[in-house]
Structure 1
């Protein structure tokens, strides 16, 4: 564990301001039992938020053709709007964790839900490129608190030993939502207009805002939540955020675990969303089978995310399962890239394996969270998640620049080899991670 000291987060409710204002206890509400009923209720609500916002994100691929026609936009504009979301999300991600560390989940998670809700309603009103870009930015701001926020809740409301498992369960449910989200949204679009669908997402968001305001509290921290912290005066907001990020980036384990997780999840995202189906189509598969590959990869991740944390806890070792998982993911992607034609069944198994072994990236969150003081867990998780999406965006864009205008199967071998190479680099980074698991 890190020996660095840090100010107790405001969410802890034990700082000088808290002692001066006893009424804050009523506002924030102390926990009843770490890992008890209230903990599961708040964690479940935050996980529902993640699934909901993932459905909105996934739905963009389904509703974008309708938005394009209604708003008289071009394919380039639709693609640009999607890129705006990705980069806005990545930028906001680095700040969301630090803000959670400073203020806690009670105010910020409700505000995040409000941003995503506003973004959904903006989507429904899209009549121009400006409205669409505004919706993407508003959505990105709120979404940046989703996955990291649910992980932060797991770290605050449950024993530290269960942090990785709780984070893995969030990824499992989010992956299942991604696997089944697009078919469900496609079916719904046959029953209603895209505007009605997005307004429905917004209406659900209003309900979630009410539930977050009423139910989400910041726990009074126990010894595990306060590890490595001291009750010292905190710096101003902006300086405090950059101080938290700086301390995390200066921690070798955080940087290395972010690199390992980034290439693992980034490769999974690029193969599952874009290049896997393109490879299948280059082998002669029809569009429907290629689309199934996306669901198969997410199902694999749904299994792998908690599995690697369970294996890690069982063996009391973080490094070895993470390194082995990333290496096996490199093998699975290589099989996908260099398979000959007419191997649909093997491709399906390989895509599932890509998602399954990508579950090793969740150990990056576990290692980062165990390598910093309790008051920096949110910042560490945000850095790892931000790197994951940045690498994912790069691995979707770079191979496209290397491919000819009308690529054939052999062209993909040279363009996509960057993925197994980066996975080998990520596995190499894992060898330099300092083990954080406690001996059995």
Structure 2
């Protein structure tokens, strides 16, 4: 009975996350329509998503603390309410401030969902299953993006702006009902954890989670491999493929569907890799970052429009970044005690979304500057302007990769000092460090 209940809880969590992802990515489909509806520039349209992600990222740590204190059920239901209100607001918005308010509410509700869903897994399942189920959760939730690309886009183009966003608001209403009726925070008889924690204890928990090098390694891992796919799916992928690459709407929808399918396919493989090779997790993250840079390089260095097969290759690589970023949450889980998982996960989840909002804003800014300078030949979303603007990816990928290497060294030194098996070279370095410290502390014989 407990096992079947656990799978039911997990399924409800996946559905809630699926709804959140569909709300999060819905604006990425309406970039061109939003430009016309709000009479907005490229940077103004990017500001919608930037502010949404800023709210999302800014709430990750507070939400992580609140999830540890109040449980997943309350946070998931509250998040669905906020997202529904945001989409309702956006359905009738006719000005930039009104539209921005709607996306802020969506960002706040979205921020409350993923961490709460992830926290359910170690409470309901055995530790050996956690890495794979975490990957499956993230990838199954990405089906929500498929909903925004296909049914939502279909409603938008056939029925119009307001009916499309009212549909999204109704979907959030369904999630609220399901969560309140069926979701349970932890198995019956399990002692409640985290409730009643005072502000001082909360501050100590947050400080300890941040000081743990494994938490910071998770943050930078998430930062490095998650943002590029988010930028592509949420804002600039659709205009880039339609206006710059000259693809028709059907082909773009197929590529977006490929993005979702490739991410789902890669998730279980990534989960198995993490379970079998825990000391190679950061290496996998760096390999994905390198592949992402290579894929963007192949597209942006191409002299003209890229063939569909090359664009499909880019989409697949960006999709792999989704499950790759989930490795960051595995760092948070393995280097922090159970009562601090929500807080540590919140810290990690900040990374990719901070990188994404910076990239989205800079790309929009560069496009507007090039357009104002006359470089775009009258085409705001032309191929040449996009080629320059999208080069922002290389800067953020470089920063993230350097930070991962620095944090990884600290984590491995810590593991070696604790007697955890590490590669021989790292173990030798740790032993040398301990020897130097011992010599410094030893009393002088003079």
TM (norm. structure 1) is 0.78
Counterparts of 1:281 and 1:77, CA distance in 2 = 19
Flag the 1:429–1:156 CA change in 2: closer, same or farther, 3 A. farther
Match in the other structure for 2:109: 142
Q: CA deviation at 1:133?
A: 3.2
The answer as to whether partners of 2:56 and 2:110 remain within 8 angstroms in 1 is yes
Contact 1:272/1:351 (<8 A) preserved: no
Cα distance change on mapping 1:128 and 1:351 into 2, 3 Å: closer
Q: Shift of residue 279 of structure 1?
A: 6.5
Matches of 2:363 and 2:40, distance apart in 1: 23
Q: Secondary structure at the match of 1:219?
A: coil
Partner of 1:158: 125
Q: 1:90 Cα deviation (Å)? A: 1.4
8 Å CA contact retained: 1:260, 1:361: yes
Q: Structure 1 stretch 304-313 or stretch 172-181: which is displaced more?
A: 172-181
Q: Are the counterparts in 1 of residues 332 and 345 from structure 2 also a CA contact under 8 Å? A: yes
Q: Which moved more, 1:126-135 or 1:60-69?
A: 60-69
The Cα shift of 1:178 comes to 1.4
* Pair 1:174 & 2:141 matched: yes
Alignment of 1:341-352 (within 5 A): 341=304, 343-344=306-307, 345-352=309-316
Partner of 1:265: 226
CA distance in 1, matches of 2:317, 2:127: 29
More helix by share: 2
- Alpha-carbon shift at residue 163 of structure 1 (Å): 2.3
Q: Which residue of 2 aligns with 1:425?
A: 402
Structure 1 residues 256 and 81: alpha-carbon distance in aligned structure 2, compared to 1, 3 A threshold: same
- Which segments of 5 or more consecutive residues in structure 1 lack a partner in the other structure? 1-31
Question: What residue in structure 2 maps to residue 306 of structure 1?
Answer: 268
Give the 5 Å matches for 1:14-413: 33=2, 36-63=3-30, 74-75=40-41, 78-220=45-187, 234-236=197-199, 239-273=200-234, 284-286=245-247, 288=249, 289=251, 292-317=254-279, 318-341=281-304, 343-344=306-307, 345-401=309-365, 404-405=370-371, 406=376, 407=384, 411=388
8 Å Cα contact 1:260-1:430 kept in structure 2 = no
How many angstroms apart in 2 are the aligned matches of 1:276 and 1:108? Answer: 31
Q: How many angstroms apart in 2 are the aligned matches of 1:145 and 1:204?
A: 17
Q: Which runs of 5+ in 2 are unaligned?
A: 377-383, 422-446
Change beyond 3 A, Cα 1:112–1:271: closer
Structure 1 residues 367 and 281, CA gap change in structure 2 (3 angstroms) = same
Q: 1:67 to 1:267 in 2, by over 3 A?
A: closer
SS of equivalent residue, structure 2 residue 411:
coil
| The 10-residue stretch of structure 1 (81-90 or 290-299) with the greater mean CA deviation from structure 2 | 290-299
Distance 2:387 2:159 in 1: 42
Deviates more, 1:370-379 or 1:338-347: 338-347
What is the total number of aligned residue pairs between the two structures?
A: 398
Q: Considering only CA atoms, is the larger Rg found in Structure 1 or Structure 2?
A: 2
Is the 1:257–1:430 contact (alpha carbons within 8 Å) kept by the matching residues of 2?
no
Counterpart for residue 434 of structure 1: 411
Determine if contact 2:46/2:360 at 8 Å carries over to the other structure.
no
Change (3 A) 1:355 1:422: farther
Deviation string 1:365-401 (CA, Å, 9 cap, x unpaired) is 1011111110111111111112110111112233454
The one-character-per-residue Cα deviations of 1:241-266 (angstroms, maximum 9, x if unpaired) are 44332221111110122112211101
**1:133-165 CA distances to partner (integer Å, 9 max, x unpaired)?**
332232222111122221111122212232222
Is the Cα–Cα contact under 8 Å of residues 109 and 149 in structure 1 kept in the other structure? yes
Aligned equivalents of 1:284 and 1:138: distance in 2? Answer: 33
Report the 3-state secondary structure (helix = DSSP H, G, I; strand = E; otherwise coil) of the residue aligned with 1:217: coil
2:63, 2:346 within 8 Å by CA — same for their partners in 1? yes
Superposed CA RMSD: 3.4
Alignment partners' CA distance in 1, 2:397 and 2:23: 30
